[in-house]
């Protein structure tokens, strides 16, 4: 991989959930990141590191994600991630990738559901990963902040400065 290219990593989460008519549940499907970017005329490969709700990611899997980011030759990495533990993954990645620009994003509503925030969050994250200096950031709700400055407010269903 060219170090100037953006490494896209999908881990699952709400962004990738789709309705399963057999169970009546929302299940994590294939990464939707390629579809979202294709709608904007962007075609890039996506690495699928995990396929889980972030509440189900184990410490070992979080380590696997951090190792993937650290080992990537790309200097810019965009990660789609479930919002519940996005901050925990960002905190683990930060010391392992000090010279990289890493942006994590997700969605409160699945991309497959009308009214989803997924495409907007991905667009903001895609722009941010290309323009920010090295560091680990979270891009949600039209804002991009260093990962340690954000917390998920479960009552509001939004990320807020913490």
- Average pLDDT in the 6-14 region? 96
Closest C-alpha among 114, 118, 61, 119 to residue 85: 61
pLDDT band at 150 (very low <50, low <70, confident <90, very high): confident
Cα–Cα distance, 162 to 101 (Å, whole number): 21
Cα–Cα distance, 127 to 85 (Å, whole number): 23
Cα–Cα distance, 63 to 57 (Å, whole number): 10
- Average pLDDT in the 107-120 region? 94
- Average pLDDT in the 112-116 region? 92
pLDDT band at 155 (very low <50, low <70, confident <90, very high): confident
Q: Which residues contact 96 (CB under 8 A, 6 or more apart)?
A: 66, 67, 69, 70
For the entire predicted model, the pTM comes to 0.94
What pLDDT digit, counting tens, does each position of 97-112 carry?
Answer: 999 999 999 999 999 9
């Amino acid at each position: 991989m060219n170090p100037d290219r953006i490494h896209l990593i999908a881990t699952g989460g709400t962004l990738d959930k789709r309705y399963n008519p057999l169970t009546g549940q929302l299940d994590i499907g294939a990464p939707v990141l390629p579809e979202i970017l294709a709608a904007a005329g962007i075609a890039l490969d996506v690495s699928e590191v995990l396929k889980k709700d972030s509440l189900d990611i184990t410490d070992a899997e979080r380590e696997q994600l951090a190792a993937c980011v650290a080992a990537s030759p790309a200097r810019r990495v965009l990660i789609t991630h479930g919002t519940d533990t996005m901050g925990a993954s960002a905190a683990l990645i930060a010391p392992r990738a000090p010279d990289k620009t890493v942006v994590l994003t997700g969605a409160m509503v699945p991309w497959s559901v009308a009214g989803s925030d997924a495409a907007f969050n991905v667009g903001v994250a895609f722009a941010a990963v290309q323009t920010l200096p090295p560091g680990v950031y979270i891009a949600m709700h039209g804002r991009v902040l260093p990962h340690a400055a954000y917390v998920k407010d479960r009552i509001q269903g939004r990320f807020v400065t913490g």
